[in-house]
Structure 1
Amino acid sequence: MAKLTALENAVLKDVSPDELWNTTAYLSGIERVSGKEGEYRSVEWLAGKLKDYGIPYDIYEFDAYLSYPIRASLRVLSPEAKEIRAKTRSFGFPTPPQGLEGEVVFVESKVKGIGFQQLDNQYEGIDVKGKIVLTERGGPDGVLDAMRAGAIAHIHMWPSNEDVIHEMISTSVWGTPTPESAARIPSIPSISVNHESGEYIRRLCAQGPVRVRLTALTETRWAKEKMVVATVPGSEEPDKYFLVGGHLDSRYVGTTENATGNAAMLELARVLNLHRHELRRTVKVGWWVGHSYGRYAGSTWYCDTFFNDLRKNCVGYMDIDSPGVKGATVYDEMTCMMENWHIAEGAIRDVAGVPAKRERPPRAGDYSFYGPGLPSMFMLMGNRPTEERFAVGGSGLGWWWHTEYDTLEWADRDVLAQDTKIYALAILRVVQSPVLPYKHTPVADEMIETLRGIAAEVGGRFDFEPVFAALDALKQAAQAADAAIPNIPAEKAAAANKAILTVERTLIPINYTRCGAFDHDPAHFVPAMPLMDDARKLARLDANSNDYKFLLTRLVRSRNLILDQLAVATEALQSIAAL
């Protein structure tokens, strides 16, 4: 365990379990539905608390395209009659009032649950046109693939066996749609059933034709959003800031998804403000709205609106979701980029005294800041023990996630205090470092390993050697820069930080995005180095086909882009080593 600084000790000591619990309890009494009264009331309450603490804040208003699930029904018509419990989803297409009838087809998938883990050509060779799909693949990419395959409705059977139905969102569009992305908004109904009900229908399908009638009602419309962002000013580099964010809106009262996170954010703002005169850089805290009803509409709006400022001045991002869950003290799926994993891992070790395991950031949560190149850490916090986990996307992997049962009984005061201290320590270790403490050798290693895997699958169908050479140069420069950073004198820190941010702004978009810096990829699985990963398709295509040669052309252009950005990052790293 590292020795804590005086400021770190003081900040951790000032974290108040009482303040955390009082905020959690208050917000747990409000259904914080996006664009509605409960969310507005929560924004105003948070603003009032910030005012009481003497913390500057802004309340932003904007229009967001949101979708509210209302109700659904499902009835098996033949070979026997049975009513099935069901829920519709945000952005699921509504049926006519009389419902929709059709034959059900069960379609197997290697992807279970809500997706984001890998791609799946699920409907290849399977005719689902005019039929209703039943599947365990329930992510937005699964709904989109079913729609494109010609299915008339999508039924997701939950893969784990909890006797509840989770609220979900069907669209893959990240934030408010554009004319181009709007085509991906589902045009078919999408409903959920629990595992037991899904297995019942699946068994019927194995015996012969099954017909069902389903109804689904959603309200999809523009709504006025209000979003509060606090600013705790730094004293030495006030224009440079670390951004902390987490979603305010909830399904039902959403105690562990995400009232506990909102409480942690407010407490971080309060405690850091007590020590603002000692902070080197500013900390901003944003309570994102439109997360569950608009696919991260709030964080996406903030990224789009303040893109240039984020790119110029933001030194990092932390996402806070589902901390403080009862029994959730196993830190074995910690979302983090490679360059700051040592910071996150060290904070967990120094506060909780336990090891942690990293996962690469998925295309999920409010990770809306790949474009401006923000080194990012955390999403969900600790998990419950393995035997108490379910196939869900938060709440410590507890069964109550995104249901009406996510109430105060599942939060834990002591765990929330511990998690908040982990956040605080990680923030301080970025904000207080004269030279930003990011390590780029692990980033280069990850990219090299990724490209090796792609090249092995592609064989000799594409020339990766220029990229390997550029990555080798990047790694050499990163090793020299990482070794130099601890010894850079104070008068050269600004130059070093400018170069470090240049590295982040160039490497993050090519390592995490297909669309590049100025748009937002869909909420689908996105592999590492996605522009090069597309080369894997060559192994499945006829080398004489148009598809093969068209893809080769795009890969050459993608390689040019990657080589250009690697050269920029390498030059910036070399400049650090030369300081």
Structure 2
Amino acid sequence: MKESGESKKTRRLDPSATATGGASSAHLLFVGLILPFILILLSFTASPPSKATYHSLFLTLANNATAARHLHALTRRPHVAGTPANADVAAYVRNALSAASFSVHTASYDVLLSYPVRRSLVLSPSPRPSSSPSIAFDLVQEIYPGDPYAAAAAEAVPSFLAYARSGSAAGPVVYANYGRVEDFATLKALGVNVTGAVVLARYGKIFRGDIIKNAEDAGAAAAVVYTDAKDYCEDKRWFPEGPGMPPSGVQVGTTYRGLGDPTTPGWPSTAGCERLRAAELAASGLMPGIPSLPVSARDGEAIHKTVGGEVAPDDWQGGERGPIYRLGPGPGFLNLTYIGNETIATIENVIAVIEGKEEPDRYVILGNHRDAWTFGAVDPNSGTAALLEVAERLVKLQKRGWRPRRTIVVCNWDAEEYGLIGSTEWVEENREILASRAIAYLNADCPVRGPGFHASATPQLDALLKEATKRKVQDPDNFSQTVYDSWISSNDSPLASCSIGRLGGGGTDFAAFIQHAGVPSADMCFGEGYPVYHSLYDDFVWMQKFGDPLFHKHVAVASIWGLVALRLADDEFLPFDYISYASELQQNTKILEDGMSGMPVNFDPLNKSIEELKKAAIHIDNQRKATEMEAGLLGWTKDLRKVRELNDMLMMAERAFTDREGLPQRQWYKHLIYGPSLHDDYGSKSFPGLDDAIEKAKSLNTSDSWYFVQHEVWRVARVVKQASLVLKGKLT
């Protein structure tokens, strides 16, 4: 592997070498007395390297061999949260950060985790098993010939869905496509009865916990979720010959629809804390109410072959090589049993700190989780390896004299896979101090998946992300251009700029920062979905062969991640853009208005608030420019009190978009501008509470339902106005 870095060669001046060969006394006097004085004088007058110089140096310190070494060490064994193997990986991360001279500590929490005890799934071609042979699925992910991790694979937790309801259920099979609300509405419209059935749904569109919830709401007795070959291995080039999911591969994961420890919603799971009782937990609506299991594409196809009834719509069908999908119910009949063990276990967040010099009480936070359902080469440890790469480069900068203006905090989270537990508990414990001190949170969950750079962020960080990709960070798939150049060319329209998504959903660890605490946040990765997600085959071999053979993507994401962090930590004025934020809110409001033509809703309060936000954003931008120009023209040092004041306004504006009451039915989510969809925790919505209210009003069409829509318009308008007041920095 190619290692890059700056040359270690240095040039030395040896004054004694010039004082030979019959040198004159004047020359000796100059060398012996005057030259040293000049050198000392120069040492006092020479300017130290600029922050920009250090940022450029950061890029030259990239080392793909280091990233590969870290990933190999992190993925030797499956390491699900709460197990000794995951504790060993935590120790590795802690030792790596300590060896890099970080100040490191562990933040531990006692949380509710879930593990499988017994599973079974039996398929009968009819409801009378005695009349025809049945199939008892082995529910095992197969080891491929020559697998170097075969022995370690035996340590993997059997395929299951965390927090699935324990129990047994039996019923005829009903096929529900991706298990979305609209899919169950289609079944109802076609006269397919889901009550008492076992729903068969495929992964691919929404969060698995929402699939189970939607099946439960439709009256199903149980649910089976499978990985359809059409979505995960259509060309049959499955691992290890190709990147696709093998026929026996199973996507595991959580079904908990909340965030954090289920027993401590809204407060940290510290020792001796208050916890919900089992009855309260069951009544929360966030835990699944029916048993469920995940199965492979092969098992899903076998079930499909026993389903009769009407042929499913064209867009519900699988690949060309598979059977014709029908809706049911039956005659295929499933008998499902799942028994789980839910227990309080200790998890460990590893926290490392580089203290800022001028503003140590302002935090730029980088984070990635460590726990994995199996080996976790992509999810999450490509991010852990990149995080350690960033950390090592920062320490090398320190050794060359760099000190950040603001404090940088590096976080390695635990138990993310169960429901973002480690990061959520930490944010809940530190909520008030983060509210007053956190500049931004930068996340990279599984940042190396495939080709193409992707980013999501709160809008004030868009320009900063784009600028970082321009800074000589080579596209790992095409060294002739920068990541930015490739990013631009990937858009459908030649006039389009880089497409940056929004952090509405709760898919990973940014959620607690933006949704609960109102901290500006970003997430970044190369590639989008990858076929062996959450399966036994997400291992180092897959990464070497298909994900990032030369580990150039690991280096590139570390470079972008680090550059954004350096700008936030070092820039005198925070590089936040609220003018574009306000413009986006105007666009999103217009989309809502256009879709609500003729409805009894007045958007004027929201439009007026956004207009005030835009004026405030322009005003603070002009203040920043005036402060810089005044210092430049007069040769003065900037008024540090004024700089701090403006930065605090920029930092706190995002907090103002939160509301203490939170979203209706989802009070933990405080952000009213961007949030998850009500029916898909992975999905992102603009004005999520308002969007939910509109959806409900359209279905009910009552005066009360439209009144509630108007109420949500006012709520959003109020938080937008609060943000404009923060940017103005004056009391009304």
Band of TM-score, shorter chain: 0.7 to 0.9
CA distance in 2, matches of 1:71, 1:485: 62
Number of aligned residues: 544
Q: Does the Cα contact within 8 Å between 1:373 and 1:506 map onto a contact in 2?
A: yes
Of residues 391, 397, 405 in structure 1, which corresponds to 2:537?
A: 405
Instruction: Indicate the residue corresponding to 1:174 in structure 2.
Output: 259
Of residues 200, 204, 226 in structure 2, which corresponds to 1:134?
A: 200
Q: Does the Cα contact within 8 Å between 1:447 and 1:529 map onto a contact in 2?
A: no
Instruction: Indicate the residue corresponding to 1:43 in structure 2.
Output: 90
Instruction: Indicate the residue corresponding to 2:412 in structure 1.
Output: 287
How far 1:398 sits from its partner (Å)? 2.7
- Equivalent position amino acid for 1:267 in 2: E
1:90 maps to 2:162: yes
CA distance in 2, matches of 1:456, 1:203: 45
Q: Does the Cα contact within 8 Å between 2:184 and 2:218 map onto a contact in 1?
A: no
Aligned partner of residue 35 in structure 1, secondary structure = coil
Alignment of 1:170-569 (within 5 A): 170-177=255-262, 178=265, 179=276, 182-207=284-309, 208-276=330-398, 277-292=402-417, 294-325=418-449, 328-331=450-453, 333-350=454-471, 351-352=473-474, 353-355=482-484, 356=487, 357-361=499-503, 362-367=505-510, 368-370=512-514, 371-379=516-524, 381-383=525-527, 397-409=529-541, 410-411=543-544, 412=548, 413-459=551-597, 460-489=599-628, 490-491=638-639, 492-507=642-657, 515=666, 523=681, 525-537=683-695, 540-543=698-701, 545=702, 548-549=703-704, 551-569=705-723
How far 1:537 sits from its partner (Å)? 2.5
Q: Does the Cα contact within 8 Å between 1:109 and 1:122 map onto a contact in 2?
A: no
How far 1:376 sits from its partner (Å)? 0.9
How far 1:455 sits from its partner (Å)? 2.4
CA distance in 1, matches of 2:215, 2:584: 33
- Greater CA drift, 461-470 or 214-223: 214-223
Aligned partner of residue 227 in structure 1, secondary structure = strand
1:123–1:558 Cα change, 3 Å = farther
- Equivalent position amino acid for 2:526 in 1: G
How far 1:517 sits from its partner (Å)? 6.9
CA distance in 1, matches of 2:57, 2:378: 27
Instruction: Indicate the residue corresponding to 2:10 in structure 1.
Output: none
TM-score by length of 1: 0.86
How far 1:434 sits from its partner (Å)? 1.1
CA distance in 1, matches of 2:438, 2:72: 32
How far 1:94 sits from its partner (Å)? 2.5
Identity of aligned residues (%): 21
How far 1:508 sits from its partner (Å)? 5.9
- Equivalent position amino acid for 1:336 in 2: A
How far 1:296 sits from its partner (Å)? 0.6
1:209–1:485 Cα change, 3 Å = farther
How far 1:295 sits from its partner (Å)? 0.6
CA distance in 1, matches of 2:184, 2:647: 41
Of residues 72, 79, 82 in structure 2, which corresponds to 1:32?
A: 79
1:17-60 per-residue CA deviation (whole Å, 9 max, x = no partner) reads 33322221111113222111111122222222222222111211
Instruction: Indicate the residue corresponding to 1:386 in structure 2.
Output: none
1:157 maps to 2:226: yes
Aligned-pair Cα RMSD in Å: 2.9
How far 1:278 sits from its partner (Å)? 2.5
CA distance in 2, matches of 1:224, 1:571: 43
Of residues 567, 571, 578 in structure 1, which corresponds to 2:725?
A: 571
Q: Whose Rg is larger?
A: 2
Aligned partner of residue 685 in structure 2, secondary structure = coil
TM-score by length of 2: 0.69
How far 1:541 sits from its partner (Å)? 3.8
How far 1:203 sits from its partner (Å)? 4.6
Instruction: Indicate the residue corresponding to 1:390 in structure 2.
Output: none
Aligned partner of residue 372 in structure 2, secondary structure = coil
Unaligned runs of 5+ in 2: 1-49, 127-131, 140-158, 234-244, 266-275, 310-329, 475-481, 488-498, 629-637
CA distance in 2, matches of 1:119, 1:458: 24
1:337–1:519 Cα change, 3 Å = closer
Instruction: Indicate the residue corresponding to 2:41 in structure 1.
Output: none
- Equivalent position amino acid for 2:403 in 1: E
1:342–1:508 Cα change, 3 Å = farther
Unaligned runs of 5+ in 1: 384-395
- Equivalent position amino acid for 1:94 in 2: S
CA distance in 1, matches of 2:574, 2:84: 41
CA distance in 2, matches of 1:488, 1:197: 66
